Amino acid sequence: MTPLAGYLLVAALLFSIGLAGALTRRNAILVLIGIELMLNAANLNLIAFWRYGPHPELLTGMIFAIFSIAVAAAEAAVGLGLVIQIHRHAKTTDLDQMNRMKG
Amino acid sequence: MSLVFYILAALTIAGALAAVLLKNTVHCALALTVAFAGLAFLFLNLDAQFAGFAQIMVYIGAVAILVVFAILLTKNSETPKDGVFSHTWLVGLLVAAAVFAMLSWAILQSVSRLPQAMPAPTVTVLQIGEALIGRYALPLEIVAVLLTVALIGAVIVAMHEKEGIQ
Amino acid sequence: MQETISFTPQLVPSPIAEILWLIPALPIVAAGMIAILKQPRRKTAAALAIGSQSISLLFSLFAFGHVVHNWVHGDFGIHETINFTWIQVGAANVDLGWVLDPLSAVMLVMVCFVGLLIFIYSIGYMKHDENFTRFFCFMSLFAGAMLGVVIANSLLLLFMCWELIGVTSYLLIGFWYQKPSAAAAAKKAFLTTRVGDVFFLLGIVWLFSQTGTLLFYNAGAGSMEHGALAALLSQPAAFGLSAAGAIGLLIFCGAAGKSGQFPLHVWLPDAMEGPTPVSALIHAATMVAAGVYLIARVYPLMAAGALSGGTTAALIVVTWVGAFTAVFAALIAVAQNDIKRILAYSTISQLGYMMAGLGMGGVAVGIFHLITHAFFKVLLFLGAGSVTHGCHEEQDIRRMGGLRSDMPLTFATYAIGMLALCGFPLFFSGFWSKDGILDAAQHWSVAKTPFYMLVFGALLTAFYMTRQVAYVFYGHWRGGKPAHESPAVMTVPLAILAFFVMALGLIGTPAWPWFKAFLDGSATRFAWRGFMEPGLLALMGVSTVVVIFGIILSWRFYGDRSPRPTEPDALERIAPLPWGWLCDRFYVDELYGVTLIAFYRWWARVADWLDRRVWGGLVAGVAGLFGLWARLNRFLDTNVVDGGFDKGCDELAVGGGLLALVQTGRVQTYLRILALAVAALAAILIWSSRA
């Protein structure tokens, strides 16, 4: 098991946990938490590949990860703002009860 | 694979698990913070110092706080009376398991082709700055625009609706 | 259609011969024009009919004058013909054409003149009838067709016009078609003459096949000319006859049908259902005379092969049939009570005389009687029409009487006609023409029996005519309302006819046999010596005695007695059983009804059964099949096509409903699906890149 493989496995595990959380929890905020975990796992992947990749002097992985962090922050802000607005409307954040778009 | 890695990995995963499994939403947010911290240390372990500190500052310093604020603003601070998991939680778990299986299979079956230990790169902040302005100038600008839009958007989305005010 | 102008010997045909075709064409065209008129245009219809007839008469007189001119100059035996080819059948040609010779000239004048008088008479007679125009249309058509028969040079053209006069006779007998008796009579007339016409057609076909031509005269190549006759004589047929004799007999069958010889006479008395002018024109003067004319026309064929002075089998048959018919019909006429039926049977009887005259004495003898008979029979019929008109449409002679004083003009003309018919001596043409026939019968080489039969027939003729006149004009009135004289438009033709009835005798006396000479093509002049022929004066005496005896005998029974209609007839009292036979017309109609008509009805039933069950069943079966097919199609359409389509649409809706279940509206569902899809895609990608 190479170090890279170890990091990748950790990242995969993190990703799966985050996905599980996003898919199973009822609270909308918990879904966002799961999404944050998934993003972080991806970041870990990026940094790991940068560290053990062929051209670390290009800084591609690092910059990618930094941008990813920035974008994730912005997205978390907007997402949570949405959740707050939804809560004002429906007086709840329970995703099981939000099926007005049902076909 | 050093011991440090194992400890840090265990910490991160424990935090993630806690964030997903705990009943009280605030406890989840705090566990998330622990997970973020673990990740930051992992970054440091990977010689990505800037990324690690950026992780601490942005994620722990902003995103986690943001999550806590959102929890408080949506009156989720108490433990909910009926279950926290959805009715069909098993399906979601299975899907996540499937994804993990696929990912791990992909990783494990290419283990032989992955590169071995490499010498640690030295990255200075100056280099990062030069790269941002030089090679990655366009993504930088785009991300700047994106951040602006997100800022404005978040404000508008979360604003109270008042009569006569657009 | 190429015109071959044929003439004998080397004469250019006269202008009148070239336009001879106009004589029948004009009345037919007039009929066509009347047919397209609207019904109430009486004056126009009458004007067209009478106008065309007058012009035809004018032309006929021209033609007659021309032929007389030829005769006077000693050109005998000339047949001016104009022939043309109508159709070509393989190598053979079927020719038509017309001929101008003494026979046709005489017939033309008679038909046109008598026809014109009857048309004028009809204006008065049909005045109260609402179908005035239809009457004149048919009468004009008949006149044209009859003239066509008279001038035809081709047996085929003659046959065509023959059928046309049959059709118009049918139309005119059934003129008042709402009366069932009239419709039945018309049908009977048509069918009975048809029986004769079948044999006639057989004769025509045989003649054409043997001689290759149907023209009578064609510059030596015609069927009545020497070459063809010789060929026909050499061909043997059945029963010891030659082809000529057999064809002659077949043609005689057609003539027997039209001229009412026994046994095809049954239609003539019933034909009296038509209006009286129709009876006068068609069933006295012209159509029934067409049979006699036909025999006269084909006389060379009938007489072919006769040894000099002898006769042929065909002519013998003609004579016997004629003589028998003469007596048979006269006997029946004695017991009839309808004024027109007496005249109808009288016509049949006189036609028998004409046929006998043709058979025994030749063309001139028979045709002379035809001409004189035409005039006095028309006179008698028109007189009868005047009587019925004056008696308010009464036709039973037992309900008339004493009309001598009420209708003097009618009585006078009727008496003249009656005396001519009886053959009263000297001043009446009937005497001379009948004596001509009796003279020929007296000198017939084969047997004397026809002579005795004809003399007996003359006795009967006098008897029944006197009976009729006594019933109608003598005694006292036994009818309803009093009678009145007819208007001038009806009595003036009567007077004109009466004059001719008396005057025509002059051209046939033995002292000056102009008619015979004219037709036979020889010269003659007036000579008292003509009366000195052997047996002639004796014959004249015998016939005079017979006539007077008949009149006196009848007067003893019927004169001035006026029995009521309910009382039995005077003769009936004496001999009731024979009277019954005579009254019931010797049961000939009943015999036909039992045999032929019954068979025909059975056959019609069989055909009807066949038609309805077999053919109708077939058609119904096919229709049923189609119905089945249609039902199958409908079933397929509703259930398979429509149903299938509907089901498909329903399934589509169901499928859509099922698919819509995916849209739960819940974010996490969508997320799960996304995750699963991404995992699957990635797996596929890695797997394929690995391979």
B147 in reach of chain C (CB within 8 A): no
Confidence of residue C401 (pLDDT cuts 50, 70, 90): confident
Per-residue model confidence (pLDDT) at position C293: 92
Residues B59 and B125 in one domain: no
A100 in reach of chain C (CB within 8 A): yes
**How close A95 comes to chain C (CA, Å)?**
7
Q: Is the CB of residue C49 less than 8 Å from the CB of residue C119?
A: yes
CA-based nearest residue to B33, from B7, B80, B68? B68
Is the pLDDT at C423 greater than 50, yes or no? yes
Nearest to A99 among C660, C662, C666 (CB): C666
Per-residue model confidence (pLDDT) at position B78: 72
Per-residue model confidence (pLDDT) at position C16: 76
B166 in reach of chain C (CB within 8 A): no
Substitution target from B85, B88, B90 for chain C, most C beta carbons within 10 A: B88
CB contact under 8 A, A98 and C675: no
* Helix, strand, coil content of chain B in percent (nearest 5): 70, 0, 25
C671 chain-A contacts, CB cut-off 8 A: 22-23, 31
Residues B69 and B127 in one domain: no
Last residue of a domain, one of B21, B51, B79: B79
Least confident of A72-86, B115-129, C575-589, C592-606: C575-589
C672 chain-B contacts, CB cut-off 8 A: 91-92, 95
Per-residue model confidence (pLDDT) at position A14: 97
Average pLDDT over residues B88-109: 92
C690 in reach of chain B (CB within 8 A): yes
Substitution target from C662, C663, C666 for chain A, most A beta carbons within 10 A: C666
Number of compact structural domains in chain B? 2
Of C562 and C70, the structure prediction assigns the larger pLDDT to: C70
CATH of the domain at A70: 1.10.287.3510
Using a cut of 0.80, tell me whether the model's pTM lies above it.
Answer: no
Could you read off the pLDDT of C221-257 as tens digits, one per residue?
777 777 777 777 777 777 777 788 888 889 998 899 8
CB contact under 8 A, B69 and A70: no
A25 beta partners: B85
The answer to whether position B19 is within a domain reads yes
**How close A1 comes to chain B (CA, Å)?**
7
Could you read off the pLDDT of C326-361 as tens digits, one per residue?
999 999 988 888 889 999 999 999 999 999 999 888
CB contact under 8 A, B99 and C679: yes
- What percent of chain B has a predicted confidence (pLDDT) above 70? 95
**How close C672 comes to chain B (CA, Å)?**
6
Domain that holds residue A61: 3-97
Per-residue model confidence (pLDDT) at position C536: 78
Domain that holds residue B134: 121-166
Average pLDDT over residues B125-129: 90
Nearest to A33 among B13, B17, B67 (CB): B67
**How close A37 comes to chain C (CA, Å)?**
15
| E strand map for C48-105 | 80-89, 92-100
Q: Note whether ipTM > 0.95 here.
A: no
B96 chain-C contacts, CB cut-off 8 A: 675
Q: How many CB atoms lie within 10 A of CB C94?
A: 16
The answer to whether position A102 is within a domain reads no
Chain B residues 13-42 within an 8 A CB cutoff of chain A: 13, 16-17, 19-20, 25, 28-29, 32, 35-36, 39, 42
The answer to whether position B106 is within a domain reads no
Joined together, the tokens standing for residue C383 give 């007189």
Which strand (E) or helix (H) includes residue B85? none
The answer to whether position B161 is within a domain reads yes
Average pLDDT over residues B18-29: 92
d(CA A21, CA B29): 13
Joined together, the tokens standing for residue B18 give 């806690």
CB contact under 8 A, C683 and B109: no
**Range with the largest mean pLDDT of A85-94, B114-123, C94-103, C338-347:** C338-347
Nearest chain C residue (CA) to A31: C668
Residues B9 and B75 in one domain: yes
Nearest chain C residue (CA) to B95: C676
**How close B32 comes to chain C (CA, Å)?**
20
d(CA C366, CA C350): 11
Residues B72 and B129 in one domain: no
Last residue of a domain, one of B23, B48, B79: B79
C683 in reach of chain B (CB within 8 A): yes
Is the pLDDT at C508 greater than 80, yes or no? no
* B and C: number of Cβ contacts within 8 A: 24
Average pLDDT over residues B19-31: 92
Give the torsion through C-alpha atoms of C107, C112, C114, C115, to 10 deg.
Answer: 130
Residues of chain A with pLDDT under 50: none
Average pLDDT over residues C213-219: 79
CATH of the domain at B59: 1.20.120.1200
Strand ranges of the sheet holding C92-100, from the earlier edge strand across to the other edge: C3-6, C80-89, C92-100
The answer to whether position A41 is within a domain reads yes
Confidence of residue C10 (pLDDT cuts 50, 70, 90): very low
Per-residue model confidence (pLDDT) at position C597: 81
C686 chain-B contacts, CB cut-off 8 A: 106, 109
Per-residue model confidence (pLDDT) at position C598: 83
Ramachandran region of residue A9, left (φ > 0), alpha (ψ -120 to 50) or beta? alpha
Confidence of residue C9 (pLDDT cuts 50, 70, 90): very low
Average pLDDT over residues B111-119: 73
Chain A residues 26-85 within an 8 A CB cutoff of chain C: 31
Number of compact structural domains in chain A? 1
With vertex at residue C189, the alpha carbon angle to CA C183 and CA C193, rounded to the nearest 5 degrees, is 150
Chain B residues 104-143 within an 8 A CB cutoff of chain C: 105-106, 109
